[in-house]
Chains A and B, each alone.
Chain A
Amino acid sequence: MPNKKPNIAVIYFPGNNCEEESLKAVLASGMDGKIVRWNQRKGIENYDGFIIPGGWGYEDRIRAGVIMAKDPIFNSIRKEAENGKPVLGICNGAQALVECGMIPGLKNKVEMALAPNKNPFISGYYCTWVYVKSAQEKGRCAFSNFTEKNEIIPVPIAHGEGRFVTKDKELIEKLVKNKQIIFQYSTKDGKIDDSFPTNPNGAVNNIAAICNKKGNVMAIMPHPERASFIRQLPDSSDLKNRFAGNKDAVEDPAPAMHVFKSMKEYIEEEIL
């Protein structure tokens, strides 16, 4: 057991708004962490892992995540990722990881997009609770050490541009073959149905999260940091109802906390 806790940099870009929640999930999972501004590149190599949080970095100017992706700090993060350190991009952070080519990371270029949602009722921003199903065996990536294959997790989404797409017809096959699709939108019972509302944005293959081939970088559109405690779950959820009347239990971890606990375990085993 390492004698220090993993230390996480939650990278804040102007316009992000989920950095505090992300840090709270990091701390609750047993790691240390700090919010680091996008222009504080000096010393970035001293952190053991990185989270690019959600929000509207640079107001989503031009396209969601693209200006963040061109920021020099991504050169440093990419270098640390190449050394095996884990990088988690949540929502806007996921968009930036795709726009800088770190996800899916098979070629040295942008291979995908997070395009505007396809939703039969609402155009633009859409916010709701969904279910995602773990598509891979436990431990396929740095963020799934505690997630069994086919495990179903309730998480919220909140985005206008969250539809994973690619014009590369072979890419999805490669992602499936490489087991890089980590979470897929599903019904409550785990059925992969590509129609709305199960697939809330029209993502190809119901993709909600993709990792790189090595498994240490993951882009996830839903927000695990907003579903990491029982109290954060919607009142309608079965899980929350199980704890009805127990006011202390609402601070217990919810299933999405596994993403952060897994990050911790990965760093303890691979980095420290």
Chain B
Amino acid sequence: MIKMPAKTVETSVNRKTISDRDRKRMAFIDMIVSLKVPDTTAITALQTLQKIGFSKINDVKRADYYKFLVEGDEEKFKSQICRVDILVNANKHSCSFSISKDNMVKVLVKNINGEESGILSTLKNRLGFKNIKKIEKSILWSLSIDADENEARKIAEKAAKELLVNEHYQEYEIL
């Protein structure tokens, strides 16, 4: 996961990297992009989970989860990034900047050493988002589970291990 640069004592070595002033201006921005049209992958995930024995899972939703480390005006960035059609196609996607508060258990799945340099390069060099310092892309699964909170989290973890994640190249976090 992206780590905020640690506050460091400025020396001749790191003066040119991130100063206190710049660090204060940087912020993480989460963007969640989900389909407005039926999500066949989420439907297949639900059907497969039920088929392999997860009878208490009764709904699955899926979204692309982007985490940006951005320098400068956050609100301006948000208003611009949600109109970038390589990330958000307004005809089929909806976009928000926070994870919805509902009763679904959230499982965030990320490729270990994921390759986001292509997206970052396109956003910075072709679309002019020079203020993006880092980007991470994950998949956010939301599972509706008929169980109390503790049991639901255990079921979600089992579902992650058995279907949603291959731990040989992915990592996950129950949010």
Chain A residues proximal to chain B, CB less than 8 Å: 58-59, 61-63, 66-67, 70, 99, 110-113, 115-116, 118, 123, 163, 165-168
Contact = CB atoms under 8 A, between A and B. Distances in A.
Given A61-B45, A166-B168, A115 B111 contact: yes
Interface stretch (B2-10, B89-97, B159-167): B159-167
Interface of B: 40-41, 44-45, 48, 51-52, 111, 115, 118, 163-164, 166-170
- Listed residue (A61, A99, A168) with the most chain B CB atoms within 10 angstroms of its CB: A61
A191 B50 CA distance: 47
B166 A110 contact: yes
B168 A112 contact: yes
The secondary-structure label for the interface of chain A is loop
A70 B115 contact: no
B59 to A, nearest CB: 16
Contact of B48 (A70, A115, A167, A168): A70
A165 B168 contact: yes
A63 B166 contact: yes
Contact of B169 (A111, A113, A168): A113
Contacts of A166: 168
B168 A58 contact: no
Contact of B44 (A67, A110, A112, A168): A67
A67 B48 contact: yes
A58 B163 contact: no
